[in-house]
């Protein structure tokens, strides 16, 4: 990655961080802001890096609050309160980092403003600069809504001025769902025994996300089943994903050493970070000629396969670990619509002709 491209990426993802080379020509990172400075340890983008960035932000804000005696009822003070709330504290570290990026931008630009004075036109004004980027605008609106909901909860406001403001249409369908042809193309390029093949097989046949895939190992295997708790919800949910091991996945796992710490560990025997896996997946997909594919698309592909096989929403939720059917409907909605369209068409023809025709049942076969 070029130096200027790296600098732009750092500025966008981790405001206040700059990269430099030490006397051994090793790239290092430092957080600097208004006289505050802290070294950011860890591989760029890794979980360790993000945790240390969070600590640096906390240190900076603690100094800032102490030096400037943050005024009560300002957006700055509201952010401080929100960061201490159960809602924020219970979030996964990766989610906290995502929220902080937008919240800190708002705080830097508008931290001095009084929360009680914010009205709908003020919110619209804050969103105007992002009108040409619908996703970014929607994300800012979401963060503002959460902050102002918190203001209502702690008694700083009696209403939330963002409630009447709608999100913009983005036209985005989210992460691309791998097709069967793309899955076959990937496995043709990355043969069994390679880390790329192991990683994709693991995620495709478990519907797990990157943060969970890098933690899975033999400790999660019980007989012919795989059991784990999702990292994203383990702090506030007792739900355990308990699924049978698919034969294709079993063949891949059978060749892995039993003493291996995790299934996707690094060559040095350490656990792989979720961001490290994401970066590797990008390289593997590009090498296979699949620029639209990503790790998250495998989670959707697994849900789609289950839906196409006739699995109910509750059955799919048992695999994905979702606590509500809404996300499953998004993940597997297309497959569900196609199956229901076939069933509806069979009923239509039967009604028109007065005879039984081959009608696809829930598992996609006919009767």
Shared-domain flag, residues 293 and 242: yes
What pLDDT does residue 69 have? 44
Shared-domain flag, residues 226 and 188: yes
Distance CA 164, CA 356 (A): 51
pLDDT at 153 over 90: yes
Provide the residue count of the chain.
367
Average pLDDT (318-324) is 83
Does residue 249 lie within any of the structural domains? yes
Domain stop point among 114, 136, 153: 153
Which range of 64-78, 185-199, 335-349, 352-366 scores highest in mean pLDDT? It is 185-199
Shared-domain flag, residues 226 and 314: yes
For Cα atoms 177, 181, 186, give the angle at the middle one, nearest 5 degrees: 85
Does residue 338 lie within any of the structural domains? no
CB neighbours of 297 closer than 8 A, spacing ≥ 6?
175, 176, 177, 178
- pLDDT tens digits along 181-220: 999 999 999 999 999 999 999 999 999 999 999 999 999 9
Shared-domain flag, residues 189 and 283: yes
Shared-domain flag, residues 249 and 290: yes
Shared-domain flag, residues 297 and 220: yes
Does residue 343 lie within any of the structural domains? no
Domain stop point among 108, 136, 153: 153
pLDDT at 238 over 80: no
Does residue 212 lie within any of the structural domains? yes
What pLDDT does residue 33 have? 78
Average pLDDT (271-279) is 88
Does residue 18 lie within any of the structural domains? no
- pLDDT tens digits along 105-145: 888 888 888 999 999 999 999 899 888 888 888 999 999 99
pLDDT at 264 over 60: yes
pLDDT at 4 over 80: no
Which range of 116-130, 318-332, 339-353 scores highest in mean pLDDT? It is 116-130
Shared-domain flag, residues 130 and 251: no
| 258: enclosing H helix or E strand | none
Shared-domain flag, residues 280 and 222: yes
Does residue 216 lie within any of the structural domains? yes
Task: List the single range of 159-173, 189-203, 238-252 with lowest mean pLDDT.
Answer: 159-173
Give the torsion through C-alpha atoms of 169, 175, 177, 182, to 10 deg.
130
Give the torsion through C-alpha atoms of 292, 293, 299, 303, to 10 deg.
60
Shared-domain flag, residues 192 and 77: no
What pLDDT does residue 234 have? 63
Shared-domain flag, residues 223 and 317: yes
**pLDDT band of 271, cuts 50, 70, 90:** confident
Q: Specify the CATH number for the domain of residue 232.
A: 1.10.443.10
Sequence-distant contacts of 359-366: CB under 8 A, at least 24 apart: 361/310, 362/310, 363/309, 363/310, 364/308, 364/309, 364/310, 364/339
What pLDDT does residue 142 have? 93
Count of structural domains, the chain? 2
Average pLDDT (338-359) is 74
Distance of CA 237 to the CA centre of its chain: 17
Shared-domain flag, residues 319 and 235: yes
- pLDDT tens digits along 60-70: 666 554 444 45
**pLDDT band of 269, cuts 50, 70, 90:** confident
Shared-domain flag, residues 198 and 313: yes
**pLDDT band of 282, cuts 50, 70, 90:** very high
Average pLDDT (152-161) is 93
Does residue 345 lie within any of the structural domains? no
What pLDDT does residue 98 have? 84
Does residue 21 lie within any of the structural domains? no
What pLDDT does residue 152 have? 93
The parent domain of residue 216 ranges over 180-325
What pLDDT does residue 107 have? 86
């Amino acid at each position: 990655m070029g130096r200027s491209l790296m600098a732009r990426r750092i500025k966008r993802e981790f405001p206040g961080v700059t990269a430099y080379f030490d006397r051994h020509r090793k790239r290092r990172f430092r957080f600097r802001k208004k006289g505050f400075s802290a070294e950011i340890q860890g591989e760029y983008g890794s979980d360790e890096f993000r945790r240390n960035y969070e600590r640096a932000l906390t240190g900076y804000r603690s100094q800032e609050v102490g030096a400037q005696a943050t005024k009560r009822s300002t957006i700055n003070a509201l952010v401080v309160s929100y960061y201490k709330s159960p809602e924020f504290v219970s979030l996964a570290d990766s989610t906290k980092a995502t929220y902080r990026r937008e919240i800190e931008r708002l705080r830097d630009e508008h931290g001095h403003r009084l929360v009680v004075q914010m009205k709908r036109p003020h919110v619209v004004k804050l969103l105007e600069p992002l009108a040409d980027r619908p996703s970014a605008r929607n994300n800012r609106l979401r963060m503002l809504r959460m902050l102002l909901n918190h203001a209502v909860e702690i008694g700083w406001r009696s209403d939330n001025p963002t409630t009447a403001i709608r999100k913009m249409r983005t036209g985005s369908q989210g992460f691309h769902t791998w097709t069967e042809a793309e899955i076959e193309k990937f496995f043709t390029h990355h043969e069994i025994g390679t880390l790329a093949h192991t990683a994709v097989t693991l995620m495709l046949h478990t519907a797990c996300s990157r943060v969970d895939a890098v933690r899975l190992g033999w400790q999660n295997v019980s007989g012919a089943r795989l059991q784990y708790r999702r990292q994203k919800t383990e702090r506030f949910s007792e739900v355990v994903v308990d699924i049978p091991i698919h034969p294709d996945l079993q063949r891949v796992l059978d060749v892995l050493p039993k003493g291996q710490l995790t299934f996707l560990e690094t060559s040095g025997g350490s656990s792989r970070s979720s961001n490290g896996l994401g970066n590797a997946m990008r390289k593997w997909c590009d090498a296979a000629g699949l620029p639209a594919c990503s790790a998250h698309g495998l989670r959707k592909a697994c849900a789609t396969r289950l839906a196409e096989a006739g699995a109910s929403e509750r059955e799919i939720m048992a695999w994905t670990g979702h606590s509500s059917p809404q996300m499953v409907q998004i993940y597997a909605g297309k497959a569900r619509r196609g199956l229901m369209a076939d069933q509806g068409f069979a009923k239509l023809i039967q009604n028109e002709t007065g005879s039984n025709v081959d009608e696809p049942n829930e598992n996609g076969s006919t009767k």
